[in-house]
Structure 1
């Protein structure tokens, strides 16, 4: 009985194998269509020639305004950048242009900032606006995600940029690379923004508001920043015409840094989208390169970017900026600690805010409240 079962099983296997071989032979006998990948004639050489004829020839086809709309900057600035950068773009951009376009303002630039903000916003002694911006880091290493993720604004890893911008949207201070789990106060504690002020190496700022003399400029900030003498914040639930007007003016002037962030992201799509690079230094180099290019465009366009131009003649109504007298002279630790204490003095912050409320109202010409 077992022999009959084995023979039947073997014959069944042979029959199945024979049918499979016949199917393979039949399939091999049918000719198959060979499909080739379609190749499109893209004419790269002709496209390059047309690009040069349209924008970079001696008599370009398109005018200067169309060039700027496509390349986001003027033609002379574009050619200057292209001829200067011969190495990798991002690193070469930071190395070649950061000493000029990412430096701290000189005494002449500080005077221009004082005059501009005093004339436009009616804030004497104002140096700019300070704010932070998150840039999502898509390819953050898994081991770092907890450190670079905050549950307040986003559930994704990010890096933070602390920036100071003026009315013309130029960024004068850029501190980037802090983990996204920090808030604005944590970033401020590690920021080098006030290092020169503590060492008394930066320009000396003096201004008068409501009859009171002040020896340090200030930045407009939002509510999270501490009550330091170098910050001016808005008022919560302001009562009275003067205080309400001051709050509106402060919040309106604070839009400068928000506009700067918006223009920065609209110009460079790479920082509008999550960062896709893996290394932390590469993310920082990209951000700083975009800020440098942004500042180059602002400087190239000059005062035409905003409806403001410097007034003829010297004016001290908005403040005076002078070069430091003892620049480079080392100071004792006691002196540095005292300077830092002066910057963090909350009583000076409160007094400055009170004086500015009266000064801004007087410049409005509002009369009796």
Structure 2
């Protein structure tokens, strides 16, 4: 199916697509993407290397990925998906659908030999795993059956195109109206007006707090 992610997205709930939490996740993702794009030139390797042909079963890797995370009765539930991908499945599918609809690289293609290419799910998974964990592109080969070069290309183009699609919304400076809405939402939730950008009252748990400081801030 050429538009697999689109069909999955249509069968899942989009209730939290526009939630504040997803907006924050997209902003963080785009910040990582912008850094990756800026650093690409510094880490590029211009040395010529002989490529070793490895016959990889891309289709089997796609089917395993679907069974693990995207099927209706997937092996891992939504909480495991969010833990490992660092975004919700609905948000993942929304981004994948937008990339597939707008950019040829993320559309399913066949090469001159008639061999099927990587699916949109594989390409987005490869990119997000690199962004979320900072792993090398070569580490994706065993699970996604994707070479280091293709993995790097997925990560770079994911970052570049995501910035093109969402940068004007999530990477712009806030307007006066945006700030007023943030103030109002924060005051309604926390009862603390004028705390834009402050983390003092978010009550983050510090698991490695020194024993001498225990209870000091509770």
Q: Which structure has the larger Rg over C-alpha atoms?
A: 1
The answer to whether the superposition gives a TM-score over 0.5 is no
TM-score range, shorter chain: 0.3 to 0.5
Higher helix proportion, which one? Answer: 2
- What is the TM-score when the length of structure 1 is the normalising length? 0.22
